[in-house]
Amino acid sequence: MRRFRSPSILLSKMMVAMVLGWTGSAFASSPSLRDAVEAAWGRQPESSAHTARQEEMAAKRDAASALFPAPPSIALAQRTDRFNQNRGDRETEAELTAPVWMPGTRDSAQRLAAAETAFLDTSTLSARLRLAGEVRDTYWQARLAQNDRAVSVRKADEAALLMQDVERRLKAGEAARVDANQAQGAERLARASLADAEARAFRTLKAFTALTGLAQLPESGDRLPEERASGDHPQLSALEANLQVQRAKLAQASAERREPPEVSVGMRRERPTFGEAYENSVRLAVRIPLAAQSRNAPRITAANAELIEAETALARERERIQAEVDTAKAELMHAQQIEKLAEERYQLASDTKALYAKAFRLGELDLPTRLRSENEFFDAELSLSRARLETGRAISRINQALGLLP
């Protein structure tokens, strides 16, 4: 029998085909989930500024390895009595002043620069993992919405085909008008469900595109990973690196208890009066600032507070990640059980649908029973397809909980 499709269903399918045709031009083949994460990362501010951040860390390391803790300074001075007595008194002085590293301060500055560099690398990887979680969630929402739309299309087709069959029987006098009304009502309901499913599919695909810049969904998600040590988790690595940064800051604040000493070298050229020869002299000076508790106490206490916060955050994050891993494993086990039961239900509903369809064609079954069997079959089909996708999403959540990028 030729399959019948209403004009509205055909129009909606044409719109979907146009969208899929446009999305297909973005990639010659379907992108992978890893491609989606990479594309999304390229659109993030952290990615755009990463090179500049690396240059910042390189500048900090260079500053910590420099000969002086701060740039040297030059002072020039000129003294004369030209505007009062004018006896020929002249004096010119030039002085070069350079700060000097205190014992231990240079090493502490280098350790801090190295710790901040390591923190930049680990925090970047942690940011990529968080983004991967957003991409995974958006991807599976779109996959579920597209699955619902596909099932709704088939259900609308079957409802239109059944409506055509009942209308043919009505014209032949083999069916009552109430049966035709019920068939038409079921067809309208299927079309309304299809419109709602298409709206959800369109909305979730647009959300995926806005996040990744890709107009086409990957065909598959993550694979089930092997168990690995949680110590390699990017978020834990970032917090551990931050802990090292706070320790280095505390060590630097404790080492720098005073301003750096300064060494000055000066040249003086002077003449007391007219007619006398100029005399040259060299001046050497050392400036040693005194330590004061009021200078470093705020820095030390602030660094100590940040260190305590970093230690606490690391401990809490370890607990949270372990709980997330345990939850994701339990969700996968439950999803696999639900998928198995949904498959058994689908097989039963499919067999029942075939038997009822045959009985209806032979005139041995009423229309309401046939409609119930159709609804039961499509509900079972939708449950099975969604259960399979939920299993895939549970696998993605395990990867995310373990800190694995696609």
The CATH number linked to 38 is: 1.20.1600.10
pLDDT per residue rounded down to tens, the chain (406 residues): 334 444 444 444 444 443 344 334 444 568 899 999 999 999 999 888 989 999 989 998 998 888 888 889 999 988 887 777 777 788 889 999 999 988 888 899 999 999 999 999 999 999 999 999 999 999 999 999 999 999 899 888 888 888 888 888 788 777 778 878 888 888 898 899 999 999 999 999 999 999 999 999 998 878 887 755 445 799 999 999 999 999 999 988 888 888 888 899 999 888 877 778 788 889 898 988 887 777 778 888 998 999 999 999 999 999 999 999 999 999 999 999 999 999 999 999 999 888 888 887 777 777 778 778 888 888 888 899 999 999 999 999 999 999 999 8
Contacts with 129 (C-beta within 8 Å, 6 or more apart), sequence order: 234, 235, 400, 403, 405
Dihedral, 195, 199, 201, 203 alpha carbons, nearest 10: 180
Contacts with 251 (C-beta within 8 Å, 6 or more apart), sequence order: 108, 111, 112
Number of DSSP helices (H) and strands (E) in the chain, helices first: 9, 4
Q: For 352-391, what is the HEC assignment?
A: HHHHHHHHHHCCCCCHHHHHHHHHHHHHHHHHHHHHHHHH
Cα 77 from Cα 207, distance rounded (Å): 68
Residue 103: Cβ-neighbour burial (10 angstroms; 0-12, 13-18, 19+): exposed
Q: How many Å separate Cα 204 from the centre of its chain?
A: 18
- Whether 127 is in a domain gets the answer yes
Q: Taking the CB of residue 301, how many other CB atoms lie within 10 A of it?
A: 12
pLDDT digits (tens, 9 = 90+) for 129-187: 999 999 999 999 999 999 999 989 988 888 888 888 888 878 877 777 887 888 888 88
Measured at the CA of 289, the angle between CA 285 and CA 291, to 5 degrees, comes to 155
- Whether 1 is in a domain gets the answer no
**pLDDT at 227 (0 to 100):** 59
**pLDDT at 84 (0 to 100):** 79
- Whether 2 is in a domain gets the answer no
- Which amino acid would we find at residue 163? M
- Whether 406 is in a domain gets the answer no
Cα 152 from Cα 270, distance rounded (Å): 100
Cα 255 from Cα 267, distance rounded (Å): 34
- Which residues lie across from 278 on neighbouring strands? none
**pLDDT at 39 (0 to 100):** 93
**pLDDT at 228 (0 to 100):** 54
Cα 179 from Cα 170, distance rounded (Å): 8
- Which amino acid would we find at residue 377? F
- Whether 136 is in a domain gets the answer yes
Helices (H), 213-258: 234-255
Q: pTM of the predicted model, to two decimals? A: 0.78
Task: Characterize the bridge pairing of strands 73-80 and 279-287.
Answer: unpaired
Whole-angstrom CA distances from 118 to 75, 127, 143, 237, 258 are: 40, 14, 37, 10, 28
Among 170, 133, 103, smallest CA distance to 328 is for 133
Domain that holds residue 115: 7-401
Cα 247 from Cα 228, distance rounded (Å): 28
**pLDDT at 1 (0 to 100):** 35
Which residue do the tokens 């740039």 mark? 71
Q: What's the token pair of residue 296? A: 């470093």
Q: What's the token pair of residue 256? A: 């720098």
User: What percent of the chain lies above the pLDDT cut of 70?
Assistant: 91
Domain count, the chain: 1
